[in-house]
Structure 1
Amino acid sequence: MAKTAWVFPGQGSQSIGMGTDLADIGTARFSQAEDILGWSVLEICGSEDDKVSNTLYTQPCLYVIESILADALKAKGERPAVVAGHSLGEYSALYTAEVFSFAAGLRLVKRRAELMAQAAEGSMAALMGFKREALEAALANTADVVLANDNNAGQVVISGTAEAVEAAIQQVKARRATRLNVSGAFHSPLMAGAAQEFADILNAVEFKDAIAPVLSNVDPTPSTDAAELKQRLTQQMTGSVRWREISLSLPKQGIDTVIEVGPGAVLTGLIKRTVKDLELKQIESLAQLEAAYS
């Protein structure tokens, strides 16, 4: 019998119009989200001026849409053997694993988005096509810059002060280096202030043991323990997203199928370039859901 991992994308996977086809099956969730957020996810996602790419909106919209899709998969009788999410996507994974309620998760995501949108220090850059040894040496030799997203062997994101990020880039011969249009140095120690404020909020939320093992960004070891999962999430805002290690761990846990639950195909693309012989699927729309599980 197939063992399936459900993975949930994070910020950067959003697109105008995402989730609008879920209005009928997600009526209750969209209404609940509007009560919590004070604005309509469907209206933001459907706006042609790309409001959905504003961090304040992006993170809650992704969480709501991914949660609705996960609920719909469960309604079809599907269950994940393992869950994981990339950065923001970890919240969708934890909701899917029933660690916290939809409402509790959305309130956390709302506050996370607000804190990250307020970040005004530092920068980030994506590197592709480089020698990992050179990257590791550059990060070791340069203060105030860290590996923020270890996506796969040939694609990473670094984060830190603008000067340190630029200095690290100059030391690594990469096929492409792209400065990211973000407000701050996410997944780095420069987020410590925001992370501490968020930790106080997070500590007040009840976590339950997960119904399926969760592979966390800061620690890809499978865990269902509520306290451990909360501690890992506490570290996420300043810690690295270890997606390459998450991908490599899937076959070791007997996973043979991966479903990306949410917009785009970023995560299945990363996994495909990291691990061979896994069946990769994507569920980002009602049409895909019905075609796969009619």
Structure 2
Amino acid sequence: MAKAAWVFPGQGSQSVGMGMDLADLPQTQARFAAAEAVLGWSVPEVIQDAEDKVSNTRYTQPCLYVLESLLVDLLKERGQTPDVVAGHSLGEYVALYAAGVFDFATGLSLVKQRSELMAAASDGMMAALLGFDRDDLQAQLAANPGAVLANDNNPGQVVISGTPAAVEAVMGSVKAKRAVKLNVSGAFHSPLMASAAETFAAVLAPVDFQESQVPVLSNVDPTPATEGSVLKQRLVQQMTGSVRWREISLALPSLGIDTVVEVGPGNVLTGLIKRTCKELALVNVGTLAQLESQG
């Protein structure tokens, strides 16, 4: 019997107008209203803003969470359910929602506070490297302790994060097909986020995490877990820890997964997984047409 993993993209997958083909559905109207009650601003207004307001970290993360959680509910209404879930950075919050760890409003409140803390973290920089020697990269990171591996996305693509001097030193030393500075406000998934992470840990502390209904593969630990306290602790570590997406991808076949459904805008995660696990069937559900093709 087919087993499916649902995966949820994070920051970088957003685009102006994303999800607005779902806007006429009554479930969408209700979700936007519920989101505005938590956020104090309108998700569809931000998504449709011509100045690309949706790419500001403060807005990106809540908008992605709202859209992806809506798609989760619409898929479940159509009788679809995941056997395993995982999310890339911000997407991990949607994975926990999909697994029943917390309700929509609780997750959105956490994402709102996370996005505000990350938007305020102006120190540091991030850069993507494509087509490189992994041993060479590890050696250069060891020689430049101000930089760390932030996203291990697949064998040929990573993101490094840290102080501008250290990140630029690594970029200048590693032979890569491409090295691109990312347009982000801070050094996400690095020790430079420690202050924000400490504040966020206090926000998370009183929140009740239920046992998940399906196994969750977390960014900082890609082994399957269902215990609420474990999943919460992994989330505490996520802001400063590396996103181990390559290992998450490699774990899926060993868990009997044969199909991966990327729930959210774009196809970033299916693109990454395609290069890591060629045997997996890949499905994208981010538009009304794609949703309706799921039955």
TM-score bracket for this pair, using the shorter chain length: over 0.9
Deviation of 1:57 after TM superposition, in Å, equals 0.6
Tell me by how many angstroms 1:120 deviates.
1.1
> Alpha carbon RMSD of aligned pairs, Å?
0.7
User: What's the TM-score, normalizing by structure 1?
Assistant: 0.99
Q: 1:158 aligns with which of 157, 160, 170?
A: 160
User: Any residues of structure 2 matched to 1:181-200 within 5 Å, and which?
Assistant: 181-200=183-202
- Residue 91 of structure 1: which of 93, 96, 103 is its match? 93
In structure 1, what is the Cα distance between the partners aligned to 2:113 and 2:204? 10
Q: CA deviation at 1:220?
A: 0.2
Aligned to 1:129: 131
Pair 1:36-2:38 in alignment? yes
Q: Distance in 2 between matches of 1:51 and 1:246?
A: 31
Using the TM superposition, give the Cα deviation of residue 292 of structure 1 relative to its aligned residue in structure 2, in angstroms. 2.3
Q: CA deviation at 1:49?
A: 1.4
Q: Distance in 2 between matches of 1:120 and 1:262?
A: 27
Distance in structure 1 (CA, Å) of the matches to 2:268 and 2:145:
30
Distance between the aligned counterparts of 1:68 and 1:183, measured in 2? 27
Separation in 2, partners of 1:45, 1:92? 18
| Paired position in structure 2 for 1:263 | 265
Name the CA distance, whole Å, in 2 between partners of 1:48 and 1:166: 32
Aligned to 1:246: 248
In structure 1, C-alpha distance between the alignment counterparts of 2:16 and 2:100, rounded to whole Å: 29
Q: Deviation per CA, 1:73-110, whole angstroms, max 9, x where unpaired?
A: 11111110000000000000000001011000000000
How many residue pairs were aligned?
293
Paired amino acid for 1:268 = T
**Cα shift readout 1:210-235 (whole Å, capped 9, x = no counterpart):** 00100000000000000000000000
Match in the other structure for 1:139: 141
Secondary structure (helix, strand or coil) at the match of 2:148 reads: strand
For the residues of structure 2 that align with 1:262 and 1:78, how far apart are their CA atoms?
A: 15
Return the letter of the residue paired with 1:105: G
User: Does the alignment pair 1:274 with 2:276?
Assistant: yes
Alignment equivalent of 2:104, drawn from 88, 102, 105: 102
Q: Match for residue 115 of structure 2?
A: 113
After superposition, where does 1:62-77 map in structure 2 within 5 Å? Answer: 62-77=64-79
2:128 maps to amino acid:
A
Q: Any residues of structure 2 matched to 1:53-64 within 5 Å, and which?
A: 53-64=55-66
1:287 match: 289
CA-to-partner distance for each residue in 1:267-292, whole Å, 9 max, x for gaps?
00000000011110000012211122
Shift of 1:62: 0.1
**Percent identity for Structure 1 against Structure 2:** 67
- Separation in structure 2 between the aligned mates of residue 171 and residue 37 of structure 1, nearest angstrom: 43
Q: What secondary structure, in the 3-state scheme, does the structure 2 residue paired with 1:128 have?
A: strand
Cross-structure match for 1:20:
20
Gaps of 5+ in 1: none
Aligned partner of 1:10 in structure 2 is 10
CA distance in 2, matches of 1:2, 1:27: 33
Report deviation, 1:56: 0.7
Counterparts of 1:42 and 1:174, CA distance in 2 = 39
